[in-house]
Structure 1
Amino acid sequence: MNEYYNHQRKKDYLKSQELDFNTNIIKNIISVFNMTSNFENANDKDLCEFTFEEFVSMFSLNQWVNYSTFKSKKTIIKNYIKYCVDNNLCEANNLRNISRLIGKDIKKKSKFEIEYYKDFEDFHDTIQYLFHETLKNNDNGVISITILYLLWYGFEKEEIIKIKNEDFDFDNKTIMCRDTNHIVNIDNEDVLSLFQKCKDYRYISRWHNRYNKILNYEIKNPRDFIKSDRIESLSVQNLRVRIGVLNDIIKDNNNMLSKYVSKKIVDYGISTSGLYYRIKLVEDNNNIQLELSNIELFNKLLNNRIPYDLTNGYDFLGNYKEWKKFFYGI
């Protein structure tokens, strides 16, 4: 068990449940203790001493907003506080702070705040913050994170698994997928250094082998994602799941009170944000706005990377304007 605020008290509470540590009930309690310990340390107080406002803040930052999640977390915390009250570890009034908490009190974040990014700096800072330890200490993790940057720069999943060492031109600061002739200029030194680090790893002979491992490894344990050596047939169907596993690293590294606490690393959020940002740059540089009448012109300027299909009702333009309004207020 991890070290918690008032560790012995938490340990005594778990023992009082008189259940095997492998039961789901105990696992769920431990999971809550894991997710709340940083809040306790930051506030320098035990959960049983939290005010109503501190519970609202913690639930909001953790985004415990849907009914089942909210109810289960609240019940676990409430039972723990009741134990503290019964054992004279806190005031009886403290139980009311969690008891009167309802779902409407929790501030639900928008999809853009959780899954999308304003610009490259926003995306880059997020990755550097969430995975700072992984970037320093975990070779396979670095390679996994490199995929995120390739998605931001506009490479399709089908292209990523075909990129090889020789496709990285560090003299000209470009990356190319030879199958599609898609070339991207990389103007950030941190990203170039990251790509160079991956290219130089002695045990990686070909990029597409490493991507193959990442994309096709059947995850039994989230931590296996960053240590897999298994190769299966080439596929891109479950990349979202593979990238989503990086959220397990986020939980390990993240300061729960930071602005990044609710960020989810998902493929469409990264690739779409990158595309939206490039569209906005075209708008700003050419003093024009993306509209239905000129969307094909924008598509040509962006190397046919806008995945729109108006005949199927895909509201690309509407989604883009919603993103722009959220991040830029226009």
Structure 2
Amino acid sequence: MTTDDATKTLNLTAFLAEQRPRTVGKAVAPKPGLNTEVISPDGSRLDLTGPHRCLGRGGRASPEGQNWLAGPQQQDTYRSADDEPRGGSKASLNVFLAPGRLATGDCRRNIHLWKLVEGGTWQVDQRAFKKHEDSVEDIRWSKSEQSVFFSCSSDRSIKIWDARAKPDNACMFDLQNAHDSDVNVIDVSNTQQLLISGGDDGAVKIWDLRTIKEANPVAVFKYHQGPINSVEWCPHERGVFAASSEDDVVTLWDLTADAINFTEHENLKNVPPQLLFIHLGQREVKEVHWHPSCEGVLFSTAINGFNIAKTISV
């Protein structure tokens, strides 16, 4: 390691230490519980812990750094018993672009919108968005339109919703059979009109939102050998994304990469030219996420710990 490399490592360590989350208060988890945690860029934390009936994959920080939690003296006022969505444990969670609003999906096919009200408590709209035929696996808000959000499900579909409409009429588009099996995760690009999805079939698919009604993905990558459990667009590089799978592999991809002829190399002929990097060494990888402000820094979580890596190609 060169002196410059060591300096970079030390600076990153110091930066991460400064950004360490602080617990402002602990919220009362819904019953049966949601097993996830949402961290705000200002350091506050929404900690939803409970029975491990389901894993909330979609926790995301609010770009505005909204303090979601009341102080410790109000930690038991997260919501009243009558204010939880009726029926179904939570399966996915995503925070709205504007502070003080989030969406949750559950194992009974329902999606609910939540609103932060005076006093630091959350109020849930009991009118559920109901169009999925199976468990809601992931939810993402649009990066460009504040009223639009996307959802995916074990029913193999991806749906687009308008939160301004009544829940019964809010589904604006229904992409059926997006994957050959459960659609586990989705993400929306903040630089392009692109949606990415990953499924139990091991495929990662790229959808152009301008032509999604044609139901044809613009790219399909079947490199992974297990179900896809996390996908995320890089916030700093156009066309770059990361994916992780139950095959214990984390991959980095670049859609702008020029085609490379691998036919002369027997060991590489099945490698997609868009594949930038393969990260190995973890067991039971669950999620992969880019750091929002440190360019090229990637976090991956697994049963044997989490890794922090910085690429040289992104």
Q: Which of the five TM-score ranges fits, normalised by the shorter chain?
A: under 0.3
TM-score, with normalisation over the residues of structure 2?
Answer: 0.27
Higher helix share: 1
Greater RCO (CA < 8 Å, at least 6 residues apart)? 1
